[in-house]
Amino acid sequence: MITIAQLIEEGTKKLTSAGIDEPDVHSELILAFVLNQSRPYLRAFNQNLVGDKEEKLFNTILEEKLKGRPLAHIIGSCEFMGRIYNVSPTVLIPRPETEELISESLKQLKMRLPNTILDLCTGSGCVAISLAFLFHHAQVSAVDISPEALDTALTNARNLNVAKRINFIKSDLFENIDKSFDFIISNPPYIASDVIETLSPEVRCEPRLALDGGKDGLAIIKRISKEAPNHLNPNGLLALEIGCAQAPKVVKFFKADTWQTPQVVKDFAGIERFIFVRKK
Ligand SMILES: C[S@@+](CC[C@H](N)C(=O)[O-])C[C@H]1O[C@@H](n2cnc3c(N)ncnc32)[C@H](O)[C@@H]1O
C-alpha cells in the first residue's frame, strides 16, 4: 500500500512529464476527489495509507488527465465560490476570475443592494446562483442561448436549493427579455475566433459557443453595451468580464450620453479583466 504523500508525488511526476499545468495541484485535487476529502485534509494526514481501490481510481482519473482532458470534465463537477457545480462539455468550467467578478461587483454595488439582477450568458449558472445566495431578496434572471447550458444551470440551482429564486430564460442576449434590472452581470464569450485554435487542449475542450467572441473577440460585448441601456434602471450597474488587452477598446463602447464613466478593474494576475459602468 502507498501513502497519500507518495501517491500525490507519483501523480505530480507523471503530470509534470506530460507538461500539464499545476501538476501538484491537479494530483492533490484528483486524490481529494477520490477520497472525498479536502486538500488541507490530505496535507494534514499525508502519511495515511490509500486503499487499493482508491489507488486504482486515482490512476484511472490520472490517465484521463494525462490525455489533456479538464479535470472538471473527468469528474463532472467543479467548485465555484465554495459550492459544487455540475459541469459537462456543454458549459464553460467556471473560472477563478469570475469569482473575482462577483467579489468586485459587491464592492461596486456598495450599500445599493440590487432588487433585480440579470446574469447574461449564464452557462453553468454559477454567477446567477452565487448572486441568489448573496442577495436573498433579489429576483434573479439568468439567460443563455444554449438549451444544454440552461439544463445544467437549472440542475445546479435545484441541487443548491435556489431554483425557485432564479428565472432561467433561453434568449439570444436580451432578445426574450422585456424587463429592466438594477444590476446586469455577464461573463460573455470574448476570445477572437482565430485565436481559439491556438489555445491549450484543455481550453479547446470548452464549448465554442462559450468562447467565441467573433473576429476581434468583442462582438458579444459590443452588443451588450448597445442593448443593455434598454434593460437597466437609471443608475443601474453593468459588470462585465473581458479578455486580456480588450479594456481600452471596450471602454469606448460606453458613450457619455447614456453611461457614467466606466471603471476598469484588474484581476489578481494584474490583467485589466473587469468593466463596471453605471447607466446615467
Ligand atoms: C464564457 S461562458 C460563461 C458561463 C458562466 N457565466 C461562467 O462565468 O462560468 C459564456 C456563455 O454565453 C453563452 N452565450 C454565447 N452567446 C450567447 C448569446 N448570444 N446569448 C446568450 N448566451 C450566449 C454560451 O452558451 C456560454 O454558456
| Parallel, antiparallel or unpaired: strands 116-120 and 139-144 | parallel
Percent of the chain at pLDDT exceeding 70: 100
What number is the average pLDDT over the span 172-201?
Answer: 96
Residue range 187-210, pLDDT digits in tens: 999 999 999 999 988 888 899 999
* pLDDT of 165 strictly over 90: yes
Residues 6+ apart with CB under 8 A from 87: 72, 73, 76, 77, 78, 93, 94, 124, 152
What is the whole-number distance in angstroms between the Cα of residue 149 and the centre of ligand 1? 8
CA-to-CA distance for 271 and 207, rounded, in angstroms?
Answer: 24
Counting ligand 1 atoms within 8 A of each CB, the residue from 78, 80, 88, 92 with the most, and so the one to mutate, is 92
pTM: 0.93
Residue of the nearest CA to atom 7 in ligand 1? 94
* pLDDT of 169 strictly over 90: yes
What number is the average pLDDT over the span 222-247?
Answer: 98
CA-to-CA distance for 187 and 119, rounded, in angstroms?
Answer: 8
What is the whole-number distance in angstroms between the Cα of residue 268 and the centre of ligand 1? 23
CA-to-CA distance for 174 and 28, rounded, in angstroms?
Answer: 41
What is the whole-number distance in angstroms between the Cα of residue 113 and the centre of ligand 1? 25
Atom number of ligand 1 nearest to Cα 127: 6
Q: How high is the pLDDT of residue 118?
A: 98
Q: How high is the pLDDT of residue 110?
A: 84
**Sign of the CA dihedral 133, 134, 136, 138?**
negative
Counting ligand 1 atoms within 8 A of each CB, the residue from 121, 172, 173, 208 with the most, and so the one to mutate, is 121
Residue range 11-25, pLDDT digits in tens: 999 999 999 989 999
Residue of the nearest CA to atom 12 in ligand 1? 121
What is the whole-number distance in angstroms between the Cα of residue 87 and the centre of ligand 1? 14
Average model confidence (pLDDT) across the chain: 96
| Homologous superfamily assigned to 2-68 | Ubiquitin-associated (UBA) domain (1.10.8.10)
Q: Which amino acid is at 124?
A: S
Residue 145 CB less than 6 A away from ligand 1: yes
Residue 100 CB less than 6 A away from ligand 1: no
pLDDT grade for 226, boundaries at 50, 70 and 90: very high
Residue of the nearest CA to atom 18 in ligand 1? 172
What is the whole-number distance in angstroms between the Cα of residue 214 and the centre of ligand 1? 13
Residue 247 CB less than 6 A away from ligand 1: no
Asked if 26 and 38 count as a contact pair (C-beta separation under 8 A), the reply is: no
What number is the average pLDDT over the span 59-82?
Answer: 93
* pLDDT of 164 strictly over 90: yes
CA-to-CA distance for 26 and 8, rounded, in angstroms?
Answer: 9
Query: Which of 195, 229, 226, 224 minimizes the C-alpha distance to 211?
Result: 195
CA-to-CA distance for 233 and 279, rounded, in angstroms?
Answer: 7
Dihedral, 274, 99, 217, 65 alpha carbons, nearest 10: 150
* pLDDT of 249 strictly over 90: yes
Residue 128 CB less than 6 A away from ligand 1: no
> Secondary structure of the chain in the HEC alphabet?
CEEHHHHHHHHHHHHHHCCCCCHHHHHHHHHHHHHCCCHHHHHHCCCCEECHHHHHHHHHHHHHHHCCCCHHHHHCEEEECCEEEECCCCCCCCCHHHHHHHHHHHHHHCCCCCCEEEEECCCCCHHHHHHHHHCCCCEEEEEECCHHHHHHHHHHHHHCCCHHHEEEEECCCCCCCCCCEEEEEECCCCECHHHHCCCCHHHHCCCHHHHECCCCCCHHHHHHHHHHHHHEEEEEEEEEECCCCCHHHHHCCCCCCCECCCEEEECCCCCEEEEEEEEC
Residue range 128-155, pLDDT digits in tens: 999 999 999 999 999 999 999 999 999 9
Pick the CATH number of 89-278 from 3.40.50.11540, 3.40.50.300, 3.40.980.10, 3.40.50.150: 3.40.50.150
Q: What is the residue extent of each domain of the chain?
A: 2-68, 89-278
